[in-house]
Amino acid sequence: MLKKDPKISLLSVDIAKKKMISSIKNKLKTEYINLEDLENRVLAEDIFSKVNIPEYNNAAVDGFALRSICLRKKINKFRVIGESLPGKPFDKEVKEGESIKIYTGAYLLDNNKTDTIIMEEDCDVKKKLLKLKVQPELFSNIRKKAEDIKKKDKVFCKGTKIRAVDLAQLSSMGLKKVRVYKKLRVSIFSTGNEINKKTKSKYTIYDANKLTLVTMFRKIGCDVKDLGVIEDNLTKTKKKIYSVLKNSDLIVTSGGISSSKVDKIGQTLSKFGKIQFWRLAIKPGRPFAFGSIKDKPFIGLPGNPVAAIVTFFMIVIDYVKKKSGNNVKPIIERVLPANFEMKKKLGRKEWLRGKLEVLNKKQFLTKYPTTGSGIISSISKSDGIIEIDEKKRNIRKGTLLKFFRYEDMLN
């Protein structure tokens, strides 16, 4: 079993996260996928535009197109000689004293020499004769060629995670397929004789961790394999882990990582692999292990549901995103005053479950009243995690604390 050494202090979470990130050395595999499958995938190359967007000057409104030189010459009446439609532009020259009816989105081709559009309501038109009611601005109501994207512009950088709203830009460039990193293959299983596998029986519990972990790993873009539950047996644990190494990029377990004689994950990792660290100066989640077996990274999450979920958010997400090729952006944090009081140990980072609430038109952080690692309702009835730094001991009302929303961290 893993042995506690009272002479060795607990590792700070900041150092632990740096160790995890610095361990990433794998060369990521790539694939080409269709745009309709691109949401939440990570680009494996920079994307440059092969076209100007828009390709031509075009109408921003319905109206009449004419030449600005006519306005300079104070010409007030124009003959309407044709029309320009989206997808069917007017391709003949428009001379001085002439105009064309134009519709929103229709192109203004260079050879027709129009460069100003008059809105319909600013004109009187009778029998193809247009008369201006107001003096319009020169070059008005036109979307300029390449005002959005210029040909050869870098539009998206390698490592960008594509959102649904990004697909419009990619589609407008005429792209059909894009090269992305293959999804990180994550194998997850729970451990413990106390976890029932099929039906609830006396002295067993339901597996509260695995479904949540599988779902969250998928949410951040992983290809996840649910390996079920392994009993507290060293031989079975080793066999299960070794059976999935070849087709996994990351092994994740929950439970079995403490120093107890029944906790076999730590023993397996210690005997057959390498441990970088396994005890952190945090609450909840002190028994958190990171290492490798046959060069495949291994994360051992705590067995308590709250500790497993919180450490996933505050430790694992950044590592997985980086390992997936994602250009990791800092998690959005809000710094707000506490609406509670408490004491904590110095030298330990604490993560409370809480909410952002509004009192008298001011925003405050409130914590869930019960903080135990097994209180699952503290997750389901909260919106995010309140972080209390290692150097803080006494939290009073008004103390400024960091707050991280669950949904912000999963994006």
Domain containing 65 — which CATH number?
Answer: 2.170.190.11
CATH at 376: 2.40.340.10
**CA–CA dist 251, 300 (Å, integer):** 8
**pLDDT in 10s for each residue of the chain, 411 residues:** 555 554 456 999 999 999 999 999 878 999 999 999 999 999 999 999 999 999 999 999 999 999 999 999 999 999 999 999 999 999 999 999 999 999 999 999 999 999 999 999 999 999 999 999 999 999 999 999 999 999 999 999 999 999 999 999 999 999 999 999 999 999 999 988 778 766 667 778 888 899 999 999 999 999 999 998 888 888 888 999 999 999 999 999 998 777 666 667 888 888 999 999 989 999 999 999 999 999 999 999 999 999 999 999 999 999 999 999 998 787 889 999 999 999 999 999 999 999 999 988 999 999 999 878 879 999 999 999 999 999 999 999 999 999 999 999 998
How many Å is the maximal CA-CA distance in the chain? 97
Q: Which two tokens stand for residue 14?
A: 């900041």
Return the HEC string of 90-122. Answer: CCCCCCCCEEEEECCCCECCHHHCCCEEEEHHH
Query: Is the same domain home to 338 and 319?
Result: no
pLDDT computed for residue 256 by the predictor:
79
319-351 b/e with 16+ CB inside 10 Å = b? Answer: bbbebbbbebeebebeebebbbebebeeebbbb
Query: Is the same domain home to 172 and 95?
Result: no
pLDDT computed for residue 2 by the predictor:
55
Give Cβ neighbours of residue 241 (< 8 Å, ≥ 6 apart): 251, 268, 293, 298
Does any domain span residue 37? yes
CATH at 309: 3.40.980.10
Q: Which two tokens stand for residue 274?
A: 């390498």
Query: Is the same domain home to 245 and 256?
Result: yes
First to last CA, the chain: 37
Does any domain span residue 8? no
The bridge status of strand 185-191 relative to strand 250-254 is: parallel
Last residue of one domain, picked from the residues 292, 323, 354: 323
**CA–CA dist 246, 243 (Å, integer):** 7
pLDDT computed for residue 36 by the predictor:
97
Does any domain span residue 405? yes
Residue-range definition of the domain harbouring residue 399: 334-410
Does any domain span residue 5? no
Query: Is the same domain home to 224 and 165?
Result: no
Cβ–Cβ under 8 Å, residues 17 and 140: no
Does any domain span residue 329? no
Query: Is the same domain home to 387 and 278?
Result: no
Query: Is the same domain home to 247 and 162?
Result: no
Cβ–Cβ under 8 Å, residues 396 and 327: no
Last residue of one domain, picked from the residues 289, 323, 357: 323
Q: What pLDDT, in 10s, does the model give residues 338-365?
A: 999 999 999 999 999 999 999 889 999 9
Does any domain span residue 259? yes
CATH at 42: 3.90.105.10
Last residue of one domain, picked from the residues 323, 358, 385: 323
Is 133 strand, coil or helix? Answer: coil
Q: Which two tokens stand for residue 146?
A: 């390449």
Query: Is the same domain home to 340 and 285?
Result: no
Does any domain span residue 1? no
Domain count, the chain: 4
pLDDT computed for residue 27 by the predictor:
85
Query: Is the same domain home to 118 and 220?
Result: no
Query: Is the same domain home to 253 and 343?
Result: no
Query: Is the same domain home to 206 and 268?
Result: yes
Cβ–Cβ under 8 Å, residues 101 and 89: no
CA angle, residues 82, 83, 88, in degrees to nearest 5? 125
Does any domain span residue 125? yes
**CA–CA dist 18, 13 (Å, integer):** 9
**CA–CA dist 117, 399 (Å, integer):** 58
* Rg value, the chain, Cα: 31
Query: Is the same domain home to 213 and 171?
Result: no
pLDDT computed for residue 261 by the predictor:
63
Q: What's the pTM?
A: 0.88
Sign of CA dihedral 322, 327, 332, 333: positive
Q: Which two tokens stand for residue 66?
A: 């004419």
pLDDT computed for residue 233 by the predictor:
86
pLDDT computed for residue 270 by the predictor:
86
pLDDT computed for residue 7 by the predictor:
44
159-188 b/e with 16+ CB inside 10 Å = b? Answer: bbbbeeebeebbeebebeebebbbbbebbb
Query: Is the same domain home to 138 and 208?
Result: no
